[in-house]
Copies of this chain bind each other. A is one copy, B any other.
Amino acid sequence: MALVVQKYGGSSVGTIERIKHVATRVAKSRAGGDQVVVVVSAMQGETDRLIKLARQVADRPDTRETDMLVSTGERVTIALLAMALQEVGCPARSLTGRQVGIVTDSVHTKAKIEKVGGDRLRETLAEGMVPVVAGYQGINEKSDVTTLGRGGSDLTAVAIAAALEADRCEIYTDVDGVYTADPNIVPNARRLDRVSYEEMLELASLGAKVLQTRSVECAMTYRVPVVVKSTFVDGPGTWVAEENAEMEKVTVSGVTCDRNQAKLTVIGVPDKPGVAATIFGAVADAEIVIDMIIQNVSQENTTDISFTVPRDESKNALEIVRRVAKEIGAKDVQLTEGIAKISVVGVGMRTHSGVASQMFKALARERINIMMISTSEIKVSCVIEDKYAELAVRTLHDTFGLGTVTRA
């Protein structure tokens, strides 16, 4: 008898019919002899609906109140799914983030999990019931509701799997696995049978959208085997697990595209020590994650600094950086929103060279200008104009032969 955590995303529980479908799936797993814990997201569209309400009340809604508001979405789903499970004869009980003991820090709307209690989960399992857990949410030390940021339900599922030492964590979504590229952009993209945690981390953080980045980090830390599958179609899915020799034979495993970034450029920054630290420190204090950074060569004792931030925080970041720019005597701050970050990822890069230059050449052939570059051990990323995004992804997918290479 295995202990399995199953997570169903917003599209998997987007309608009453789909909730009923998930109930039959869960009941089937349980009938097959597994102990099942279910984690669910809000019904598709619900979180957006709630945020829209908040925006009608306030331009920048208070984050604590935003968490109080949006955390209701998952609560609706857990109650409905627990009812649906009971209807198909499967004893079930809904539990909130608080009730399963998910304790977080107090950074509302993007809290970090500090602890997963799990006692109530174990009790509920021992009673022969399926715990149906609200993803995406926890409470802080003041007992206020917090949320884990978009995609946080994945993290809830993996964190619970780690806390319960579950045999595996199954992530059910509207695609049947992790692909070499977004099939909407690249028609001949292939499903990967297996990716390493490290690759998945890059793929996730670069915009593959299938698994939330922090959930992959958590899975890697606690060595939780994760499998990404379709809610609607049976299939093997994609396993996210430890790296093996087979994987290293392949140079590039996927091409990703992240269109949710914006670029800020601080122009005419006085070229003296500590200036960059002042700018980035102020942005970090606002809990805004900076991704890529470029600093131009100094001219006449001033320099330009560019960096990217999540697009939905770009206005906030712009305001902060404008204030800091004034303090440090920089000339101007510019915001560029129409950008895309295209990346190629693969653990094989550790042992294969030339990936970056192949990438630059391929983009040049299509006359796509590269605005920023960053690299890591297992990926190369380029920021380009957003309008070239699809073309760039298709070109790179072809260049690295992803549509044809067979991979175990």
Measuring CB to CB, which residues of chain A are less than 8 angstroms from any residue of chain B? 16, 19-20, 50, 53-54, 56-58, 61-62, 64-66, 68-69, 71-72, 75-76, 78-80, 82-84, 86-87, 93-94, 96, 98-99, 143-145
Contact = CB atoms under 8 A, between A and B. Distances in A.
A143 to B, nearest CB: 6
**Most chain B C-beta atoms within 10 Å of own C-beta, residue among A83, A84, A93:** A83
A65 B53 contact: no
Given A62-B86, A99-B143, A143-B99, A54 B80 contact: yes
For the complex of A and B, 6 pairs with smallest distance between CB atoms: A69-B79, A72-B72, A68-B79, A16-B56, A65-B79, A57-B83
Contacts of A80: 53-54, 57, 65, 69
A94 B75 CA distance: 17
A82 B62 contact: yes
A86 B75 CA distance: 26
A72 B65 contact: no
A140 to B, nearest CB: 12
B68 A78 contact: yes
Given A53-B16, A66-B79, A58 B72 contact: no
Contacts of A64: 93-94
Contact of A94 (B65, B83, B93, B94): B65
B76 A58 contact: no
Contacts of A82: 62, 65, 68
A126 to B, nearest CB: 15
B86 A58 contact: yes
Nearest to A77: B69
Nearest to A74: B72
Given A69-B80, A72-B75, 9 more contacts: A57-B80, A57-B84, A62-B86, A64-B94, A69-B75, A71-B75, A72-B72, A72-B76, A99-B144
A94 B76 contact: no
A138 to B, nearest CB: 15
A58 B83 contact: yes
Nearest to A17: B56
Nearest to A19: B57
